[in-house]
Amino acid sequence: MQAVARRPRTNHLDLAQRILDVARQRGFEAGAHLPEQQIASLCNVSRTPVRAALRLLTEKGVVRWEAESGYRLAVDLTKQATLATDLPSAEEDELAEMILRDRSARRLDQTVTVGALMRRYSAERKTVLKALKKLTDENLLDRAPGQAWLFRRAPDDPEAQGESYEFRLLLEPAAILAPGFRLDGTRAAALRQRMEALLALPDATFDIREFQRLDIDFHGMIADGSSNRFVTDALSDHLRLRRLPGTYAGVNVFRLKQSLREHLTILDQLESRQYEVAADLLRVHLRLSRSQRPQAASRGAPALFGMISRPD
């Protein structure tokens, strides 16, 4: 009887993705050394799960093992936008994604129960509970009394999107202007390279999923740069909601490319420590994104995005 292949553990899969994210954010190039202790420190975990995650990435060809030096990055992450989708998924991860898709499509009510999810997805109780825990840990669900869970409100309808942008308009520029704001230069450089690569693609091959990742990474970098931990936590929690399916639906490629250019212009000012200018540009960017109309670019974006250039 043929043995059934065991799925990787969820924490190893999550850590493998975190390692890729850290390597991408810090601009690691193909061939870069990945010392277990350094990776453990960057991901705030012990070395044991790091070894398992690195073995998983080695099996996928993303990392290679060398007897003399240990693990090294085997690919150029800036040209591998779909690596995350190539990693195997744990059963509870697949169920969590199905739950999110069905909620986004309004096939699930705002409140769900374990029993109802077991019946809907023909899943075991332990798998449902693990999926719900994953979504709760990501602040996408809240535990309700009894056996119920409550979806947090996501910016997936016009009213909620408007409120989301108002929230971000209040906090994101303030994060930049708070005393002690610090930009992670390595992360910014790697992000710039990825944004420029996506911007160079023809409209027909523009990758909206990669745009979503870049958009969240860019605004997450601003949140992480704030010296105020409460601002960082509030923005980070809110940005997690933007990874829900359908959040970017209905926005055309013209606007998405325009948004990338705005990101790059804001990044120019952040790198030059022109924080007040960067905060002003960010406000314009968020207002344009809120309107989601390409023609808005000719009405008020104005000159800010056309006249400010990166200092030599």
Percentage of the chain modeled with pLDDT above 70: 81
Quickly state the pLDDT bin for 245 (edges 50, 70, 90): low
Q: Does the structure show a pLDDT above 60 at 5?
A: no
- Helices of type H across 109-207: 114-121, 125-137, 158-177, 185-199
Residue 297: per-residue pLDDT: 38
| Run of H or E including 113 | strand 111-113
Percentage of the chain modeled with pLDDT above 90: 27
Between 270 and 186, name the one with better pLDDT: 270
Residue 4: per-residue pLDDT: 35
The pairs formed by 262-265 with CB atoms below 8 angstroms and a separation of 24 or more are 262/288, 262/301, 262/305, 263/195, 263/214, 263/215, 263/218, 264/192, 264/195, 264/196, 264/199, 265/305, 265/308
Structure tokens at 305: 């995005």
pLDDT in tens, 91-132: 777 888 889 888 877 888 889 999 999 999 998 998 898 889
What's 3's DSSP letter?
P
Residue 221: per-residue pLDDT: 93
Give all domains of the chain, ordered by start, each with its CATH number: 10-73 (1.10.10.10), 91-151 (1.10.10.10), 158-290 (1.20.120.530)
- Enter the pTM of the model: 0.64
pLDDT in tens, 250-261: 678 888 999 999
Average pLDDT value for residue range 13-25: 80
Residue 88: per-residue pLDDT: 52
Nearest to 80 by CA among 100, 51, 57: 57
Q: Does the structure show a pLDDT above 90 at 77?
A: no
Q: HSE of 195 in the Cβ direction (CA atoms, 13 Å)?
A: 26
Average pLDDT value for residue range 163-172: 92
CB–CB of 85/200 below 8 Å?
A: no
Which of 4-8, 36-40, 109-113 tops mean pLDDT?
Answer: 109-113
Q: Taking the CA atoms of 82, 27, 14 and 243 in sequence, report the sign of the dihedral they define.
A: negative
Q: Give the span between the Cα atoms of 11 and 63, in whole angstroms.
A: 18
Structure tokens at 32: 């870069």
Between 302 and 75, name the one with better pLDDT: 75
